[in-house]
Structure 1
Amino acid sequence: MIRSPKPTKLHAIMTLMLTIGITNHVFIIPALLQMAKRDAWFSVLLAAVPFAIMVCLIGFASSRIGTQPLPEWIRQQLGRIPAFLFQCIIIVYFFATAWSSLFDTVMWMKVTFLPYTPVLATSLILILLCFIGALKGMKTIAIASGILLPLVVLLGFYVAIVNIEYKDYSLLFPLFEQGWNPVFKGVLYACSGLFEVFFIFFLHPYLPAPLDKKRFIVFAFILFGLTLGPLTGAIAEFNPFEAAIQRYPAYEEWRIAGFGKYVSQTDFFSIYQWLSGSCIRISFALIVIADMWKRRSTRWRPSLLAILAVILVPLSCYTLSDIAFQHLMIRYVFPANAYLILCLTLIIAVAAMFRSCKKGRTA
């Protein structure tokens, strides 16, 4: 049961910036570079069109749903069976989101900072932090985001400004060397990250009122910039072909950033950025999964979260190699993510439109 006082709208925006931002800022960039190479940044610009349509659909549906939990609203609009199917899809989707985020973070730590530390140890520590956050609830996650995000943003501006001397923006051109096909492929991958603005539906029940249009549009612009900024930076610093073969281009930008004459490496700051986004994202996913299971008693919730955490640890350590995981994400998961969110948003928007028309006839 949701208790007051509730998180503010600013807390909500900060939570979504960390939850979705790590996908657009880190996870999706290697896929964009591999698919479109030099044209990847132009693919993001073209993705602004479907992204704007998605923002309009979500804004329209949110104004009709309000702060009502989405499964309950779907049950009222479409019936029990569609609501049950929706809950099952969301549970599987957010479990996959938590798993992929945990796996990618653990592999990144092993490749970069902790090559001799067992992945089981890092996975256990990370999932324990996320379990505690999910157990405390969305309000705690929102407040933690408000504390973590300002330094994350400052560090992002720092690495962008410090590396200006190494950037050659002429590398962004010429465009369309391989035709339009890579560009359109890149649009799909850019939409996969941008469409996660859909997550706002699961945060609204914890707010006193849905995000207004101005805040929502500002947040959409910020999210768009979180994809375009580091992508153009990676191309300008490393050239598109070198950046395309890097596993973590956003991290590589930290490898060349220094601080004055006596500090040549500042890549340890990236640990704070990456873990802030991963912890909030995984905790958010666990909370949404728990919210899909409504029970009168709240005693089952810690048990459910503990079971999810226990399942995620071996899945993040022993299921796939890093190469197989990257192939799975680029080949299947990212495209499926875009299509699934688009379909769910269209269904919700049509249901909201049907409700508006029905009310109009009644009036």
Structure 2
Amino acid sequence: MIKSPKPSISQAIMMVMLTVGITNHVFVIPALMQAAKRDAWFSVILSILPFGIFTCLLIFITNRTRSKSLHSWISSRFGAFPSYLFRAVLTIYFFTIAWFTLFDTITWTKNTFLPYTPTWATLIVLLGLCLAGATLGIKTIAVASGLLLPLVVVLGFYVGIANVEFKDYSLLFPILEFGWGPPVKGMVYACSGLFEFFLILFIQPHLEKPLKKKHFVLLAVIITGLTIGPLTGAISEFNPYEASLQRYPAYEEWRIAGFGKYISQTDFFSIYQWLSGSAIRISFALFAAADLWEFKKSKSRFILLLVMAITLIPLGNYVFNDVQFQFMIFHYIFPGNLMLMSGLTLLLAIAALLPGRKKGGSTHET
């Protein structure tokens, strides 16, 4: 029984683990392996310092906004135009998140489990579920996260433990084999995934209680662990050069995990993990894009959600092929994501330090 119309802190943590976790645990791994090879895991270690500073900035911003939505806070302090510009940029960003997640998920299902199923059929089913979640609201997305995440975590520990016999951790060394270039280049992709923690700023205003510093620290540690885990697993199981050639290293780890003497493959469990993260991530991205505009009528909000969902159908797998998509994520999407998240966070932190606009002889405080 849902007692509160707002998600609890624990539900918010689980939603972040699925929404941001799938990027760090799945999507960013191929780019990291291509960029840094054996030093990919060391790139994540090097990224801890900038990610720690980034997390501190997020804590500072949430303390100054006092759980107020960012676009409303910007509007009250700096006027309507900066607020509309912020909303426009973030709407495009959230739409891109939904498209990126949908494309990679549909490509994975086509290449692994459903090679003969029409792409449009998979697209419509997944988008229909995500559209329903976004329409019902963040409470529904949060409750669904709470139901889906426990088994996702259990399966994650299972595949890690089941593959121990195939792991050779000596393959993680030596670090800096080719100098500082590869790990520093890998930091771009590691930070791009880690900095998606920025999404917490759009969850915070909807919570029944504000997040505390310990919650930010806990989530930061979890997100970092979700990145290092599959990286070290892929390198130690396949060697860094083979892993860098794989399209889905995290999935390949499932293909060698068995269960007992008579079950040689358990990779079907990965379907549950991947689709759980993708569905929550796309649902939240669509919800956040519509939430930015604060529609007074639910019909107007649903129309925007429906337009975005319909637009995603051709973009989901028909406009680009996988080679073009990989080129885009490596050269544009992940580096662009890092620049956008870093830039917006710095601007919001600076804005939080500045006095608000004056009206009637007084300055509006946060």
TM-score of the superposed pair, with normalisation by structure 2 = 0.95
Distance 2:165 2:4 in 1: 49
1:330 maps to amino acid: F
Q: Distance in 2 between matches of 1:46 and 1:71?
A: 33
1:263 is matched with which residue? 263
Between the aligned partners of 1:135 and 1:291, the Cα distance in structure 2 is 10
Q: Name the SS for the 1:47 alignment partner.
A: helix
Post-superposition CA distance 1:114-159 (Å, at most 9, x none): 1111111111111011011111100000000000000000000000
Following superposition, the deviation at residue 208 of structure 1 comes to 2.0
Shift of 1:54: 0.3
The residue aligned with 2:61 is 61
Corresponding residue of 1:347: 347
Aligned amino acid, residue 191 of structure 2: C
Give per-residue Cα distances to partners, 1:10-62, cap 9 Å, x unaligned: 00000010000000000000000000000111000000010000000000110
For 2:233, the equivalent position in structure 1 comes to: 233
Aligned CA-pair RMSD: 1.7
**Letter in structure 2 aligned against 1:124:** I
Aligned to 1:165: 165
Equivalent positions of 1:75-90 (< 5 A) are 75-90=75-90
Contact 1:11-1:146 within 8 A present in 2 as well:
yes
Q: Which residue of 2 aligns with 1:98?
A: 98
Kindly state the Cα deviation for residue 299 of structure 1 after the two structures are TM-superposed: 1.8
Which region of structure 1 is more displaced relative to structure 2, 97-106 or 60-69? 60-69
Deviations 1:172-194 (A, max 9, x none): 01111221111111011100000
User: Which one-letter code corresponds to 1:241 in the other structure?
Assistant: Y
Instruction: Indicate the residue corresponding to 1:317 in structure 2.
Output: 317
**Distance (whole Å) between structure 2 residues aligned to residue 66 and residue 277 of structure 1:** 29
CA distance in 1, matches of 2:86, 2:191: 22
Letter in 2 for 1:234: A
2:49 maps to what in 1? Answer: 49
State the alpha-carbon separation in 1 of the partners of residues 296 and 261 from structure 2: 61
User: Once the 2 structures are TM-superposed, how far is the Cα of residue 325 of structure 1 from its aligned partner?
Assistant: 0.3
The CA deviation at 1:4 is 4.7
More moved, 62-71 vs 236-245: 62-71
Q: Give the distance between the partners of 1:107 and 1:207, measured in 2 at CA.
A: 34
The DSSP-based 3-state class of the residue aligned with 2:96 is helix
- How much does 1:355 deviate? 4.4
Provide the C-alpha distance between the structure 2 equivalents of 1:222 and 1:79, rounded to a whole number of angstroms: 37
**1:306 & 1:82 partners in 2: Cα distance?**
27
Structure 1, unmatched stretches of 5+, are none
Task: Give 1:294 deviation, angstroms.
Answer: 2.2
Aligned with 1:314: secondary structure?
A: helix
Asked if 2 retains the 8 angstrom alpha-carbon contact of 1:188 and 1:335, the reply is: yes
| Matched residue, 1:16 | 16
Contact 1:66 1:209 in 2 (8 A): no
User: Is residue 2:139 matched to residue 1:139?
Assistant: yes
**How do residues 1-363 of structure 1 correspond to structure 2 at under 5 angstroms?**
4-355=4-355
- Provide the rounded CA distance (Å) in 1 between the counterparts of 2:17 and 2:316: 24
- Measured after TM superposition, the shift of residue 322 of structure 1 is 0.7
Q: Which moved more, 1:114-123 or 1:164-173?
A: 114-123
Which has the larger displacement, 62-71 or 192-201?
62-71
Residue type of the alignment partner of 1:227: T
- How many residue pairs get aligned? The number is 359
8 Å CA contact 1:28–1:190 kept in 2: the answer is: yes
Separation of aligned partners in 2, 1:34 and 1:207? 38
Task: Give the secondary-structure state (helix, strand or coil) at the position aligned to 1:299.
Answer: helix
Amino acid at match of 1:223: I
Structure 1: distance between partners of 2:271 and 2:84: 39
> Structure 2 CA distance, aligned partners of 1:126 and 1:313?
10
Output the amino acid matched with 2:241.
Answer: F
Query: 2:31 and 2:249 mapped to 1: Cα distance?
Result: 11
Aligned AA (2:210): P
Mapped partners of 1:76, 1:300: distance in 2: 24
* Contact 1:63 1:210 (C-alpha < 8 Å) held by counterparts: no
- Distance in 1 separating the partners of 2:129 and 2:123: 10
How far 1:205 sits from its partner (Å)? 1.5
Change (3 A) 1:355 1:227: farther
Give how far 1:317 is off.
2.0
Q: How far apart are 1:204 and its partner, in Å?
A: 1.1
